[in-house]
């Protein structure tokens, strides 16, 4: 039995549709190559069930296996369009919190002593 988490159960419908569409595109490429599900799974070094989950757009599918599938079809460069870096990130530094300064959403040691 698979373990369900709230992050998977609460996936937005638009995100779920994107995963399903990606799975359909991967399936179309597989069929265009004339490969069976078994052959595709062997090429990706995964089980047939894992590959089926990718084609069906399940959110628990491995992004690594999806990237490998895109590579097999010559479409790996399409991942470059995923989550592009915002244009205004040029001079932004990393965010760091000071060790001695308590965060506003945390309980200080004085508040814990009751």
- Domains along the sequence of the chain with CATH: 12-77 (1.10.260.40)
Q: pTM for this one?
A: 0.69
Confidence check: pLDDT of 55 > 80: yes
- Written as six digits, the tokens of 87 are 């244009």
- pLDDT tens, position by position, 9-27: 678 999 999 999 999 999 9
- Which of the two residues, 81 and 43, has the higher pLDDT score? 43
Question: DSSP class of residue 58?
Answer: -
- Give yes or no for a contact between 70 and 40, defined as CB atoms under 8 angstroms apart: no
Confidence check: pLDDT of 54 > 70: yes
3-state secondary structure 25-51: HHHHHHHHHCCCHHHHHHHHCCCHHHH
């Amino acid at each position: 039995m698979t373990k369900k988490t709230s992050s998977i159960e609460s996936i937005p419908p638009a995100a779920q549709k994107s995963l399903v569409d990606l799975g359909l595109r991967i399936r179309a490429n597989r069929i265009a190559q004339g490969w069976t599900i078994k052959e595709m799974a062997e090429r990706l070094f995964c089980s047939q069930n894992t590959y089926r989950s990718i084609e069906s757009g399940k959110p628990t599918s491995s992004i690594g296996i999806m990237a490998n599938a895109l590579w097999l079809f010559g479409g790996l460069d399409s991942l470059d369009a995923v989550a592009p870096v915002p244009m205004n990130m040029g001079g932004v530094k990393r965010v760091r919190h000071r060790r001695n300064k308590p965060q506003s959403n945390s309980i200080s040691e004085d508040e814990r002593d009751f």
